[in-house]
Amino acid sequence: EQQQLQPQQNNHDASPRATGRIPFDPNFLGRYKGEFSRAMEPISSYVTTKEKVLELQQTLQSTHPIVYFITPTAHRRTQMADLTRLGQTLLLDQYQQQQSTSGGGGLIYWVLIEDALRCTKRLRHFLKRLNIPFAHVAVRTPPNTKNKTLPPRGVEQRNYAMDLVQNRVGIAPGIVYFGDDDNVYDVRLFNELRKIKRIGVLPVGYRGGGHYERCIVNPDTGMVDSIVEKIPTRRKYPVDMAGLAYHSSLLWSSSSKNGDNRPATFSHDWSNGQQETRFLQQLVDSVQELEPLAYNCTHFFVWHLSTTQPDSALKVVDDPDYDSLRHMV
């Protein structure tokens, strides 16, 4: 079980031969000599318990909502680069919270869901090295849902994560945010999320410059009047997945518009561009119910910046340790 939110110290003096086994060293990250497959071996899921999170809150004297940062991920050549960038941003926020002179810093609970049958060892090593509260679970996307032209991604993973927060680790007050692993986040995002009372929205930028989606806020009322879209559609709430978050109390209340007290969920029955608007339709009746963040939606704290996929034919052919190192990149 995870310990207090402090950088882990590595005991380089301990002798593996003296103990009969190699101690866990998060910075070593498992150099499996000549066996890339060992780094990708399946491992059971792990969830930092609710009791442990409460203990961490008491240690930090936290008075702010926990941010449940939900990240679906799938194995690909840029996975570790994307997750490392994201993980360092989460870690920076936690460091700033610990150093806050006002006290009562807020926690981040990272829910990382692999699109796979089982979790993989290399991601567990990665998460333990960060030493922040996390859940590492795996849920596979059904193969029959991938036959569509543009199948929605992360449906099963986000639904499972919300159920996990609701039934196993959720502590009120909390904020649920869907943060994909290939986005770029400004560390100021997290303090904005902690302001949410019910459902918050913020602008999202796109790579290339000049393209974005954001809400237009009435300066007199401070309420959302309309939403600017990157591409005009007929969506009622044209909000990007990275541009919305909601208070975790909605997971336990009957505030959903489903009519049968079920919490809001995502569905493969909706097309790729309809996931966000259909999700919000289960929670609100109009844009005026959305809470504008990021200085009335005039600042950008998140961007879509998909990492370029490398040429699969490239290989480091003159390094004898290639097979034992490539799982790290």
User: 211-253 pLDDT, tens per residue?
Assistant: 899 999 999 999 999 998 877 778 899 999 999 999 998 887 6
Structure-token match 């849920």, residue found = 139
**pLDDT over 80 (residue 15):** no
- The answer for residues whose C-beta is within 8 angstroms of residue 210's C-beta and 6 or more apart is none
Pairing mode, strands 66-73 and 174-178: parallel
What is the DSSP code (8-state) at residue 153? Answer: S
What is the DSSP code (8-state) at residue 165? Answer: I
User: 153-190 pLDDT, tens per residue?
Assistant: 889 999 999 999 998 887 777 999 999 999 999 999 99
Residue 152 pLDDT class (50, 70, 90 cuts): confident
Structure-token match 């449940």, residue found = 68
Q: What is the mean pLDDT of residues 49-73?
A: 90
**pLDDT over 70 (residue 317):** no
CA distance 3 to 286: 44
User: 99-142 pLDDT, tens per residue?
Assistant: 876 666 789 999 999 999 999 999 999 999 998 999 999 999 98
**pLDDT over 80 (residue 306):** no
- The answer for residues whose C-beta is within 8 angstroms of residue 321's C-beta and 6 or more apart is 31, 33
Q: How far is CA 63 from CA 102, 172, 195, 273, 286, in A?
A: 11, 11, 12, 36, 31
Catalytically annotated residue among 192, 276, 289, 291: 276
> Which amino acid belongs to residue 22?
I
Residue 323 pLDDT class (50, 70, 90 cuts): low
- Cis status, amide bond into 151, omega within 30 of 0: no
Helices and strands (H and E) in the chain: how many = 11, 15
**pLDDT over 90 (residue 299):** yes
Q: Are 73 and 114 in contact (CB under 8 A)?
A: yes
Mark 252-285 as b/e (b = at least 16 C-beta within 10 Å). Answer: eeebbeeeeeebbebebeeeeebbbbbbbbbbbe
The C-alpha angle 214, 216, 217, rounded to 5 degrees, equals 125
35 is annotated as an active-site residue: no
